[in-house]
């Protein structure tokens, strides 16, 4: 369950990239404000190129903001901090390491016994027993994403940032990965900030969906998804939330409107 303290707290955040001309910066984020509470699952949706990845990169400490503050667990973000925040990347696994070496990668400071125990536990949780000694090239795309999830959990970061983690997977694998992620999020009590341009995915996963506007982007709307899990994708509540987000983004559910 979420409690009241924000774990991620962003106030009036602005971010620009230097442009081709020195006096013409590319304004990406403007007046972005958002809060994520402990244990929440929040999705961010928005048009392509609006600044979703940029926002996650600022919050993860990989990019500096131009103005405003981003705080995680009360402290301003000053750089990457993998113990606190795990940034889940689409191709985050190391191809030259086995599954168990990948999952144990961030655990070098722990004892060998503790490391082995954590690695075993999280490999089992994501259903990869029997593949401990396999290399990523010997796995399917979905299995590689499971390795990345196990790695994030083993590292024990309290906040997971995920940027379109399932975008490259086929439809059925994507559905399965969403179910697994929700199950693991519930059992491990993590906080998740998840970027996707798939509105149905957002409504399936999130406690709240934040809708970003076109660039320069701000948080345009917040839609609370107060539906029981596992979610029924035919239920009136699900369809209403989905259609509401489509209409905020200027589209209808059948692909009409501006893209």
Ligand X SMILES: Nc1ncnc2c1ncn2[C@@H]1O[C@H](COP(=O)(O)OP(=O)(O)OP(=O)(O)O)[C@@H](O)[C@H]1O
Q: Give contact residues for ligand X (rule: CB under 6 A).
A: 17, 26, 28, 46, 48-54, 197, 215
- 89 or 140, CB closer to Mg ion? 89
17: partner contacted, choices ligand X, Mg ion, none (Cβ within 5-8 A by kind): ligand X
Shortest CB 27 distance to Mg ion, Å:
17
259 touches which of Mg ion, ligand X, none (CB within 5 to 8 A by kind)?
none
Chosen from ligand X, Mg ion, none, partner binding at 115 (C-beta under 5 to 8 Å by type): none
Nearest residue (CB) to ligand X, 100 versus 201: 201
Nearest CB to Mg ion, comparing residues 13 and 150? 13
CA-CA-CA-CA torsion for 61, 65, 70, 76, nearest 10 degrees? 60
CA–CA distance, 170 with 168 (Å, rounded to integer): 7
73, 84 in Cβ contact below 8 A? yes
Which residue lies nearer to Mg ion by CB, 6 or 47? 47
Nearest distance in Å: CB 150, Mg ion: 24
Distance in angstroms (rounded) separating the CA atoms of residues 69 and 83: 21
At 118, list the tokens. Answer: 């954590």
The minimum distance between CB 61 and Mg ion, in angstroms, equals 17
Alpha helices in the chain (DSSP H): 52-59, 99-103, 112-125, 141-155, 171-188, 199-205, 236-248
Contacts (Cβ under 8 Å, ≥6 apart) of 254? none
Q: Closer to Mg ion at the Cβ: 164 or 243?
A: 164
92 binds, among Mg ion, ligand X, none (CB under 5 to 8 A by kind): none
Helix or strand holding residue 71 (H, E): strand 67-72
């Amino acid at each position: 369950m979420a409690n009241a303290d924000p774990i991620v707290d962003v106030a009036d955040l602005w971010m620009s990239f230097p442009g081709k001309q020195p006096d013409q910066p590319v304004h990406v984020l403007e007046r972005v404000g958002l809060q994520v509470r402990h244990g929440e699952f929040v999705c961010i949706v928005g048009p392509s190129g609006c600044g979703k990845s940029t926002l996650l990169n600022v919050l993860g400490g990989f990019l500096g903001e131009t103005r405003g503050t981003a705080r995680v667990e009360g402290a301003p973000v000053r750089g990457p901090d993998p113990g606190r925040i795990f940034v889940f990347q689409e191709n985050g696994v190391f191809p030259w390491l086995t599954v168990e070496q990948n999952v144990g990668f961030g655990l070098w400071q722990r004892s060998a016994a503790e490391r082995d125990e954590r690695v075993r536990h999280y490999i089992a949780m994501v259903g990869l027993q029997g593949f401990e000694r396999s290399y990523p090239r010997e796995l399917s795309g979905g299995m590689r994403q499971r390795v990345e999830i196990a790695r994030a959990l083993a590292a024990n970061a309290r906040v997971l940032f995920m940027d379109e983690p399932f975008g490259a997977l086929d439809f059925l694998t994507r559905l399965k990965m969403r179910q697994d992620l929700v199950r693991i999020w519930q059992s491990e009590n993590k906080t998740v900030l998840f970027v996707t341009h798939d509105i149905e995915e957002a409504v399936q996963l999130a406690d709240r969906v934040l809708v970003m506007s076109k660039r320069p982007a701000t948080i345009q709307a917040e839609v609370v998804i107060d539906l029981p899990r596992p979610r029924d994708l035919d239920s009136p509540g699900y369809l209403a939330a989905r259609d509401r987000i489509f209409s905020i983004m200027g589209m209808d559910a059948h692909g009409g409107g501006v893209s």
